[in-house]
C-alpha cells in the first residue's frame, strides 16, 4: 500500500473512532435520565435534552449524508425544527419535536449511513472533504452540544445521575501569583490545523505589548475574598453595564452558590458541597470576572494576550498547538472531556504548563477575555455564515481554553468560544492580567 493510501486509511479510521467516541458521550448524557427528563426544559436558557440529541443527528444528516455523500434526505421534514436559528431555546419545548425513542432511532439511522459513506468518500480535492474536514466539523459540533447538555444536567433539579472520579490532586502547590510575558510579535490563529473552524483562521502576526498574567485561573478562595470584601455591593468595581446587570439579576455570588449557616455551599450536578477553595471559580459572568479584576487592581486579558501566553514559545519563536507543545492533549496535560465533573485544583497539571510558566490554560474552566468576538484579518466564512460571522460584534465576549466539560476534539490553542457577557450557566471562570508599571518594564 502506498504511503498516501495508508494515510487515507488511517484518517478514515481516526474519523470513525472520533464519531463513535463522541456518540458514546451523547448517549451517556441522554440515557442518564428518563424520558420525562429528556423532554422537559430544565431552564429557559437551554433546550430540552431531546432537542439537542435530534439536532446533532439533523446536522450530521444535512452535512454528511446529503452534502458530502450526495444521498437522498432522510428527514427533510424536520430541518426547520432543528435549525437553531429558526427557534430560540425558550420556544423549543412547544415544537412538535421527535420523541425520545424516535430521536434515538433517527440518530442511529443517520450514523449508519455516515459510516457507510466514510468508506467511499474521497478525502481530498473538494475543500469540505479535504483532510475529512466535514467529518471533523460534525464531531466538534456534537461535542459542543454534549457540553451544552452537560450544562443542562447542572441546571436540572433532582438527585445526581452523573458520576465521575475526582481530578488529580495538585502536584505543584507553590505557584507564583503571575508570570511575565515579554513584548513582541507572535503568530495568532492558524492556517494549517486541518479541523480548525473558520473563526480561528487565517494565521496572522500580532504584536503584543509586555504584560503580566495570573499563573493560574482565579480560585474560589480568592473569589471568596472579593465577596467578603463586599465586592458585589460596591459599584466602584463594576462597569455601568455590569452594575446594572448585577442589580437587575440580584447577584450575590457565582451561580449555584448559596450562603448556608455561615459558609458558602455550591450545588454541583445534584450534590451540595462546601465551596472548595483551591479550585478555579466557575459559573461567573464576564461582568463578575471584570469586577473582580478591577477590585484586585488588575484587568481581564485580551484575546491576543491569552493566546500569546498559551502558544508562543520564545525558544523556537513559533506558536505551538497547545501550551505544552504540538501533541494532542493527554490526561496528564489538562482536565478535558468530562472525565471529572469539576475543575481540578490549581497546580494539578504541571505537564500542561505553557513556556511562559502559566498553568491550566487548557481545560478546567473557559476563561473570559476582555475582547469582543471579531473576525481575524482575511477571515472568510466556511462552510456557512451562521457558524461565526453572524455573531461578530460587541454583543459577545470571547472565552478561551475550554473547560472540564469540553472535549479535546473541540479545544486547541487557537479555539475561540463566545457568549453574552451575562451568561453564567456555562463552565466559565477567568484569570487576570495587568500592564506593567514604569519600574517593571523589561
Confidence at residue 173, expressed as pLDDT on a 0 to 100 scale: 84
Confidence at residue 441, expressed as pLDDT on a 0 to 100 scale: 72
Confidence at residue 439, expressed as pLDDT on a 0 to 100 scale: 78
Q: What dihedral do alpha carbons 74, 75, 76, 78 form, nearest 10°? A: -160
Q: Which residue, 74, 165, 156, is CA-closest to 113?
A: 74
Q: Can you give the length of the chain in residues?
A: 442
Spatial CB neighbours of 433, under 8 Å, sequence gap ≥ 6: 211, 212, 213, 214, 298, 299, 300, 301, 302, 305
Tally: H helices and E strands in the chain: 9, 14
Q: Mean pLDDT for each consecutive 10-residue tract of the chain (442 residues)?
A: 79 96 98 96 95 98 96 94 93 95 98 95 91 97 98 96 95 94 98 97 98 98 98 98 98 97 96 98 98 98 98 97 98 98 98 98 98 98 95 98 98 98 98 90 70
Instruction: Round to whole Å and give the CA distance between 274 and 313.
Output: 39
Confidence at residue 68, expressed as pLDDT on a 0 to 100 scale: 95
Enter the pTM of the model.
0.97
DSSP secondary structure letter of residue 378: T
The answer to whether 62 touches 134, Cβ cutoff 8 Å, is no
Instruction: Round to whole Å and give the CA distance between 384 and 380.
Output: 10
The answer to whether 334 touches 364, Cβ cutoff 8 Å, is yes
Confidence at residue 424, expressed as pLDDT on a 0 to 100 scale: 98
- For residue 318, the Cα-to-chain-centroid distance in whole angstroms is 24
- For residue 21, the Cα-to-chain-centroid distance in whole angstroms is 18
Confidence at residue 442, expressed as pLDDT on a 0 to 100 scale: 67
The answer to whether 385 touches 418, Cβ cutoff 8 Å, is no
Query: Residue 79: helix, strand or coil by DSSP?
Result: coil
Amino acid at each position: 500500500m502506498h504511503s498516501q493510501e495508508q494515510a487515507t486509511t488511517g484518517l478514515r479510521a481516526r474519523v470513525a473512532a472520533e464519531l463513535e467516541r463522541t456518540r458514546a458521550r451523547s448517549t451517556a448524557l441522554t440515557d442518564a435520565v428518563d424520558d420525562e427528563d429528556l423532554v422537559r426544559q430544565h431552564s429557559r436558557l437551554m433546550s430540552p435534552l431531546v432537542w439537542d440529541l435530534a439536532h446533532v443527528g439533523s446536522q450530521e444528516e444535512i452535512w454528511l449524508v446529503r452534502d458530502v455523500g450526495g444521498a437522498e434526505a432522510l428527514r427533510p421534514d424536520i430541518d426547520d425544527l432543528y435549525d437553531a436559528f429558526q427557534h430560540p431555546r425558550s420556544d423549543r419545548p412547544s415544537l412538535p419535536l421527535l420523541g425520545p425513542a424516535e430521536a434515538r432511532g433517527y440518530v442511529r439511522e443517520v450514523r449508519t449511513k455516515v459510516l457507510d459513506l466514510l468508506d467511499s468518500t474521497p478525502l481530498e480535492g473538494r475543500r469540505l472533504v479535504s483532510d475529512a474536514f466535514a467529518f471533523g466539523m460534525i464531531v466538534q459540533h456534537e461535542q459542543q452540544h454534549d457540553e451544552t447538555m452537560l450544562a443542562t444536567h447542572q441546571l436540572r433539579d433532582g438527585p445526581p445521575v452523573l458520576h465521575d472520579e475526582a481530578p488529580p490532586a495538585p502536584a505543584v502547590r507553590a505557584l507564583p501569583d503571575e508570570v511575565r510575558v515579554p513584548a513582541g510579535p507572535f503568530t495568532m490563529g492558524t492556517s494549517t490545523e486541518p479541523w480548525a473552524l473558520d473563526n480561528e483562521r487565517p494565521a496572522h502576526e500580532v504584536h503584543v505589548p509586555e504584560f503580566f498574567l495570573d499563573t493560574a485561573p482565579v480560585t474560589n478562595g480568592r473569589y471568596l475574598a472579593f465577596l467578603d470584601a463586599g465586592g458585589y455591593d460596591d459599584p466602584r468595581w463594576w462597569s455601568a453595564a455590569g452594575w446594572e446587570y448585577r442589580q437587575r439579576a440580584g447577584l450575590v455570588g457565582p451561580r449555584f452558590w448559596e450562603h448556608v449557616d455561615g459558609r458558602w455551599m455550591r450545588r454541583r450536578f445534584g450534590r451540595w458541597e462546601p465551596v472548595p477553595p483551591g479550585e478555579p471559580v466557575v459559573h461567573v459572568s464576564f461582568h463578575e470576572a471584570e469586577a473582580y479584576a478591577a477590585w484586585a487592581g488588575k484587568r481581564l486579558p485580551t484575546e491576543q494576550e491569552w493566546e500569546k501566553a498559551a502558544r508562543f514559545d520564545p525558544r523556537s519563536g513559533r506558536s505551538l498547538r497547545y501550551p505544552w507543545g504540538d501533541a494532542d492533549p493527554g490526561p496528564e496535560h489538562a482536565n478535558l472531556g468530562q472525565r471529572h465533573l469539576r475543575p481540578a485544583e490549581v497546580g494539578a497539571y504541571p505537564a500542561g504548563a505553557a513556556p511562559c510558566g502559566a498553568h491550566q490554560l487548557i481545560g478546567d474552566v473557559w476563561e473570559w477575555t476582555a475582547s469582543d468576538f471579531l473576525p481575524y484579518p482575511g477571515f472568510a466564512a466556511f462552510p456557512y455564515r451562521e457558524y461565526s460571522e453572524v455573531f461578530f460584534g460587541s454583543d459577545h465576549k470571547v472565552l478561551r481554553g475550554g473547560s472540564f466539560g469540553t472535549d479535546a476534539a473541540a479545544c486547541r490553542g487557537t479555539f475561540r468560544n463566545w457568549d453574552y457577557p451575562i451568561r453564567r450557566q456555562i463552565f466559565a471562570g477567568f484569570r487576570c492580567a495587568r500592564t506593567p508599571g514604569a519600574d517593571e518594564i523589561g
